[in-house]
Amino acid sequence: MGEEFVLGLGQEALKITLYLAGPILLVAMVVGIVVSLLQAVTQINESTLTFVPKLLAIAAVLVVAGPWMIETITHYTADLITRFPELIR
């Protein structure tokens, strides 16, 4: 097991992590900015107001992108298990 192989596994794991977490984080960020702008315009300073829209938006992303996320992590895991003999060498 050489350095290149280990670095390749690490890069692939980070890439998969970004693919899976990216949509959720992006939606949470956009919803947070929109709610913050609305709070600034209306001068409503309620900290719990940002929680519910973010929660609903993240739930919607998980419903829409959930099957793709599960398929992606399943393929990655199956590929990793398939390449397991290379890890032992």
Say if CB 39 and CB 46 are below 8 A apart: yes
In whole angstroms, how large is the CA radius of gyration of the chain? Answer: 19
Confidence of residue 84 (pLDDT cuts 50, 70, 90): confident
What the block records as the tokens of 10 is 């690490």
Summarize pLDDT for 31-74 with one digit per residue, the tens: 999 999 998 898 888 878 888 999 999 999 999 999 999 999 99
Taking the C-alpha atoms of residue 62 and residue 56, their distance in angstroms, rounded to an integer, is 10
Q: Is pLDDT at 1 greater than 70 in this prediction?
A: no
Q: What is the pTM of this model?
A: 0.79
| Tokens 């099957």 found at | 67
Contact 88, 66 (CB under 8 A): no
